[in-house]
Structure 1
């Protein structure tokens, strides 16, 4: 992705000033920023980033893809962000994607934890 292109997370900022630095190793300031960067990582196929930002207690060994029908991520809407305490937060979002030309929605309440100054995705509840 070119650094001056709009970030896939929908922030209206260029990738180089949005999720790009996080994908390169910078820490997310908030759980919402991490969630947006994870959406962008799904859109860009950055499996290593997704695994690195997944909490060790719930992280899968690998990201399982359906390579015969890969999704095309087409939009993200953050519905709510809640800072529960200094180390826990929730982000509710709707991610839109297409598979084989058919549109789908992923509506999730994601849970995050802050450890050693870094946010991690723990798990989520699908709606």
Structure 2
């Protein structure tokens, strides 16, 4: 396997470990390093993401695929799709246009957990 900028290439889509619902967690990270959101993807969402260069996810509540920015216009253009060492979590490195969170915040992680 070849390393480029610290990233090892060579993990195939079929090697991703989906949970028993056929989903894998996906962290979206802006190119500046900010964590934007966490969502889920099924195999079809990952295929569409890789094919189109736009972030696709699977909505657990609506039970359907969705493309980020489809209704809001706040798209995520894919710069890289990475998989973690256990192959059970995906990272979309993106160029975010507009806020990532449906609340209008730049990131979904804007509240501090307190005791």
Same fold (TM over 0.5): no
Name the structure where helix makes up a greater proportion of residues. 1
TM-score by length of 1: 0.29
Greater RCO, CA 8 A, separation 6+: 2
